[in-house]
Structure 1
Amino acid sequence: MLLDFNGEYIKDQIVSLEHKHAIDLNTNTAVDQFPLAEDEFWNVETLSILFQATTNTQKPFINRVLQGRSKYGSGKASALSYLKYTIKFCFTSSSQKPEVLDLIKSVLKSTNQAKILDKVCWHGNKYKLLRDNMSDVFFNGESEYDIYLKNIVDSIQINDLDAFQEFKILCKLKLINDLMFNYVQFDHIQPLLKRAESSLGGLSKVIKVESSVAVDDKAITVISLRNCNQDVKKIIPLLVTKHYYNSHKKQVKKSPPEKTLHLIIDEAHNILSQQSVREQANWKDYRLELFEELIKEGRKFGIFLTLSSQRPADISATIMSQLHNFFIHRLVNDRDLFLLDNTISTLDSVSRSLIPNLSRGSCIITGTSFDLPMLIQVDELNDNCKPDSNDVLLESLWSVKTEEESA
Structure 2
Amino acid sequence: MTKTKKLGVIVAVDGPVSNVGMYEMTNDADLIWFGDILTGPKIGAFLTINQNDIKIIASVMTEKVLDQQNTIKSTEFDNRYSKNSINRVVQIKTCGVIANGNFEVTSSFVPMIGNEVTLTTQEELKIIYSIKNDEPVINIGRSILENQPVQLSINSFFASHVGVFGNTGSGKSNTLHKLYLELFKSNFKDKIFEKSQFFIIDFNGEYTGKDLFNGNSDKKNVFNINTRGNETDKIFVTKKYLFDADILSILFDARPATQVPFLRNAIEAFSNTTSQAEFDFGTFVTGTIKKILTTGNSAIQDSLQEWINTAKKFVQNQQVFDNIDKLTHYGNGSYKIVGTKQFTEKDAYINVGTVDAVSLGKWQYLKLMSNGNSNTDIPSALNEQWIKSSEIKKLNMFLYFQKIHGIAWGKINPEHINPLFSRIESSLKSLEKIIEIKDSISSDYNAINIFNLVHANQEITRLVPMLISKMFYDDQKEIVSGQSVTQTKHLIVDEAHNILNTEHKSIGDDWQDYRMSVFEEIIKEGRKFGFYLTLSSQRPADISPTIMSQIHNYIIHRLVNEKDLRMLENTMPTLDKSSYQKIPSLGKGEAIITGNAMQVPVFVRIPKEGKKNRPNSDDVKLTDIWV
Interval containing the TM-score (normalised by the shorter chain): 0.7 to 0.9
Offset, 1:255 = 4.7
- Identity between Structure 1 and Structure 2 (%): 34
Match of 1:35 among 236, 243, 250: 236
Q: 1:62-141 to 2 correspondence within 5 Å?
A: 62-73=263-274, 78-94=280-296, 95-98=298-301, 100=303, 101-102=305-306, 104-112=308-316, 116=321, 140-141=351-352
Q: Is the counterpart of residue 362 in structure 1 residue 590 in structure 2? A: yes
- Number of the residue aligned with 1:403: none
Higher deviation after alignment, 375-384 or 330-339:
330-339
For the structure 1 residues 70 and 270, does the alpha-carbon distance in structure 2 shift closer, same or farther, using more than 3 Å as the test? closer
Taking structure 1 as the reference length, what is the TM-score of the superposition?
0.85
Q: Distance in 2 between matches of 1:254 and 1:128?
A: 62
Higher deviation after alignment, 149-158 or 206-215:
149-158
Higher deviation after alignment, 86-95 or 138-147:
138-147
CA contact (8 A) 2:520 2:547 kept: yes
- Number of the residue aligned with 2:607: 379
Higher deviation after alignment, 210-219 or 322-331:
210-219
Q: Distance in 2 between matches of 1:149 and 1:224?
A: 52
CA contact (8 A) 2:226 2:434 kept: yes
- Number of the residue aligned with 1:8: 206
Q: Distance in 2 between matches of 1:288 and 1:183?
A: 32
- Number of the residue aligned with 1:61: 262
For the structure 1 residues 173 and 216, does the alpha-carbon distance in structure 2 shift closer, same or farther, using more than 3 Å as the test? closer
Offset, 1:11 = 2.5
Aligned residues: 396
The letter for the 2-side match of 1:68 is A
Q: Distance in 2 between matches of 1:280 and 1:206?
A: 30
CA contact (8 A) 1:79 1:169 kept: no
For the structure 1 residues 114 and 194, does the alpha-carbon distance in structure 2 shift closer, same or farther, using more than 3 Å as the test? farther
CA contact (8 A) 1:84 1:153 kept: yes
Q: Distance in 1 between matches of 2:220 and 2:522?
A: 24
What's the Cα RMSD here?
3.4
Offset, 1:63 = 4.2
- Number of the residue aligned with 1:405: none
Q: 1:292-307 to 2 correspondence within 5 Å?
A: 292-307=520-535
Q: Distance in 2 between matches of 1:286 and 1:46?
A: 7
CA contact (8 A) 2:236 2:444 kept: no
Q: Distance in 1 between matches of 2:327 and 2:617?
A: 58
Q: Is the counterpart of residue 391 in structure 1 residue 593 in structure 2? A: no
CA contact (8 A) 1:38 1:212 kept: no
Q: Is the counterpart of residue 242 in structure 1 residue 470 in structure 2? A: yes
Deviations, residues 29-72 of structure 1 (Å, cap 9, x unaligned)? 35211112234444444544543445565454344334434554
Q: Distance in 2 between matches of 1:148 and 1:258?
A: 61
- Number of the residue aligned with 1:19: 219
Q: Is the counterpart of residue 221 in structure 1 residue 449 in structure 2? A: yes
Q: Distance in 2 between matches of 1:20 and 1:3?
A: 14
Offset, 1:253 = 4.2
Q: 1:294-373 to 2 correspondence within 5 Å?
A: 294-373=522-601
Q: Distance in 2 between matches of 1:61 and 1:173?
A: 12
Deviations, residues 280-334 of structure 1 (Å, cap 9, x unaligned)? 6766622111111110011111111110001111111111111111100111112
The DSSP-based 3-state class of the residue aligned with 2:503 is coil
CA contact (8 A) 2:473 2:531 kept: yes
For the structure 1 residues 308 and 153, does the alpha-carbon distance in structure 2 shift closer, same or farther, using more than 3 Å as the test? same
Unaligned runs of 5+ in 2: 1-198, 339-347, 370-376
The letter for the 1-side match of 2:306 is D
The letter for the 2-side match of 1:51 is F
Q: Distance in 2 between matches of 1:386 and 1:124?
A: 74
Q: Distance in 2 between matches of 1:129 and 1:334?
A: 71
For the structure 1 residues 397 and 338, does the alpha-carbon distance in structure 2 shift closer, same or farther, using more than 3 Å as the test? same
The DSSP-based 3-state class of the residue aligned with 2:537 is coil
Q: Distance in 2 between matches of 1:231 and 1:375?
A: 40
The letter for the 2-side match of 1:20 is K
Offset, 1:162 = 1.0
For the structure 1 residues 277 and 253, does the alpha-carbon distance in structure 2 shift closer, same or farther, using more than 3 Å as the test? closer
The DSSP-based 3-state class of the residue aligned with 1:353 is helix
Q: Distance in 2 between matches of 1:346 and 1:165?
A: 52
Q: Distance in 2 between matches of 1:97 and 1:9?
A: 55
Q: 1:199-278 to 2 correspondence within 5 Å?
A: 199-216=427-444, 218-276=446-504
Deviations, residues 354-387 of structure 1 (Å, cap 9, x unaligned)? 1111111101111122222110000111111111
Deviations, residues 232-278 of structure 1 (Å, cap 9, x unaligned)? 10111111111101111111145541211111100000000023599
Relative to its length, the structure with more strand (as a share) is 2
Offset, 1:353 = 1.7
Structure number with the bigger relative contact order (C-alpha 8 A, sep ≥ 6) is: 1
For the structure 1 residues 309 and 106, does the alpha-carbon distance in structure 2 shift closer, same or farther, using more than 3 Å as the test? same
Q: Distance in 1 between matches of 2:446 and 2:522?
A: 23
For the structure 1 residues 376 and 9, does the alpha-carbon distance in structure 2 shift closer, same or farther, using more than 3 Å as the test? same
Higher deviation after alignment, 181-190 or 388-397:
181-190
Offset, 1:119 = 5.8
For the structure 1 residues 263 and 277, does the alpha-carbon distance in structure 2 shift closer, same or farther, using more than 3 Å as the test? closer
Q: Distance in 2 between matches of 1:120 and 1:342?
A: 72
For the structure 1 residues 139 and 351, does the alpha-carbon distance in structure 2 shift closer, same or farther, using more than 3 Å as the test? farther
For the structure 1 residues 162 and 344, does the alpha-carbon distance in structure 2 shift closer, same or farther, using more than 3 Å as the test? same
CA contact (8 A) 1:274 1:284 kept: no
Higher deviation after alignment, 74-83 or 367-376:
74-83
CA contact (8 A) 1:103 1:172 kept: no
Q: Distance in 2 between matches of 1:212 and 1:394?
A: 48
The letter for the 2-side match of 1:205 is K
Higher deviation after alignment, 102-111 or 254-263:
102-111
Relative to its length, the structure with more helix (as a share) is 1
